[in-house]
Amino acid sequence: AIAGPSTYHSDKQPSTPSHGNSGKKVPDKSHCRHTRASELEHSCNVCSRVFSRRDHLTDHIRSHTGERPFCCHLCPKTFVWKSNLTKHIRRHTGEKPFSCNVCLKAFTRTDSLAEHMKLHQYNRRRR
């Protein structure tokens, strides 16, 4: 695996020379280093699915093993992904961190807020 980004940009970028008759500037990309895709691939040895990130492969492997490492400390529920545990805990606490900037109604999830915002857009169009 590779430690760090697959592409880097140096502090001093070369000037962008003009090419052809168009007079348009074309960036000189000689300051970029691109890593071959094969070096970034992490494949599942159960189903051969390929991932660009090792953590995505780790999450995927749980679909084969049934591992559910994230446990709610308030009830017996367990989760494959930490993000699902975070959303679940909001049911217990009542936390609603996402609020509408039009009417201030609050939501536990961003997708619920996005769906709510469609109502304001619809009502604005009807006027």
- Asked if 60 contacts 44 with a C-beta cutoff of 8 angstroms, the reply is yes
* Rounded distance between C-alpha atoms, residue 36 and residue 41, angstroms: 9
pLDDT at 41: 87
* Rounded distance between C-alpha atoms, residue 56 and residue 2, angstroms: 15
- Asked if 43 contacts 51 with a C-beta cutoff of 8 angstroms, the reply is yes
Q: Which of 29, 30, 40 is nearest to 5 (CA)?
A: 40
Q: pLDDT by residue (tens digit) across 117-127?
A: 999 987 777 77
Q: pLDDT by residue (tens digit) across 67-76?
A: 999 999 999 9
Q: Mean pLDDT throughout 98-108? A: 95
20 Rama class: left (phi>0) / alpha (psi -120 to 50) / beta: left
Domain ranges across the chain: 70-126
125 versus 17: the higher-pLDDT residue is 125
Looking at domain 70-126, does it have CATH number 3.30.160.60? Answer: yes
- Asked if 39 contacts 80 with a C-beta cutoff of 8 angstroms, the reply is no
Q: pLDDT by residue (tens digit) across 49-72?
A: 999 999 999 999 999 999 999 999
pLDDT at 72: 98
pTM of whole model > 0.75? Answer: no
Least confident of 31-45, 58-72, 103-117: 31-45
At 116, is the secondary structure helix, strand, or coil?
helix
Q: Which of 81, 85, 42, 84 is nearest to 63 (CA)?
A: 81
